C-alpha cells in the first residue's frame, strides 16, 4: 500500500512539475524532473522494482572481485 502510494505520488509529482516548469519556459528542467520522478517511481513499481538499480548492487558488482583480492588474498582478512 505504502509502495503503491509512493509510486503514484512520485509519478504525479513528476507530471505536475513537468507541466509547471514547461509553462515557465524551463524545458530542460522539466524533462529532468520527469525522468527523475520516473526513476524514483521505478523503485516502487510492481515487478520491476526489485530489479531497479541501486548503488549497493552496482558497487557490489564492481568492487567485489577487488575486495576479495585485497581482503582475502593480500591481507588474509576474513571477518
Partner 1 sequence: MIVKEKITHLQLGFLLFGFIAGFESMFLTESKLMKQDVWIANLFNTAAGLALFWIISFVQRQFPNLNLTEICDKLLGRWFSKVLLCVYLLNNLETISGGFRAVSMFYTTVILPNTSSDYLIFLYAACSTYAVYIGLGTLARTNLVILPFFLLGFLVTCLFIIPEIQTNPFLPQLKSSLPNRLVGSMHLFTFTFSQVITFGFLMSRVENMKKIFPSCAIAILMTNIYLIMISYLTLSSLGFNYVQTSTYPFFSTIQMVKFGEYLERIEVLLVGLWTVLTLVYVAVMQYVFTLVAGHVFGISKMKPFVVAMGLLCFVHTSKSYIRTADHFTYGIKIYPLSSLLPCIAFPVLLLVMTLIKRRREVKSL
Which residues lie near partner 1 (CB under 8 A)? 2, 6, 10, 13-14, 17, 20-21, 24, 26, 28-29, 32-33, 36-37, 39-40, 43-44, 49-50, 52, 54-56, 58-60, 62-64, 66-67, 70-71, 75-77, 79
- Least Cβ distance, residue 47 to partner 1 (angstroms): 14
In our burial notation (b when 16+ CB lie closer than 10 A, e otherwise), range 67-79 reads eeeeeeeeeeeee
Rounded Cα gap, residues 26 and 28, in angstroms:
6
Rounded Cα gap, residues 28 and 46, in angstroms:
29
- Least Cβ distance, residue 2 to partner 1 (angstroms): 6
Q: Which three cell numbers stand for residue 35?
A: 525522468
- Least Cβ distance, residue 18 to partner 1 (angstroms): 10
Amino acid at each position: 500500500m505504502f509502495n503503491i502510494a509512493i509510486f503514484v505520488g512520485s509519478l504525479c509529482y513528476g507530471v505536475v512539475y513537468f507541466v509547471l516548469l514547461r509553462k515557465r519556459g524551463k524545458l530542460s528542467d522539466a524533462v529532468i524532473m520527469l525522468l527523475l520522478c520516473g526513476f524514483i517511481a521505478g523503485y516502487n513499481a510492481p515487478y520491476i522494482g526489485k530489479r531497479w538499480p541501486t548503488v549497493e548492487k552496482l558497487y557490489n558488482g564492481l568492487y567485489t572481485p577487488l575486495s576479495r583480492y585485497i581482503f582475502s588474498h593480500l591481507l588474509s582478512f576474513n571477518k
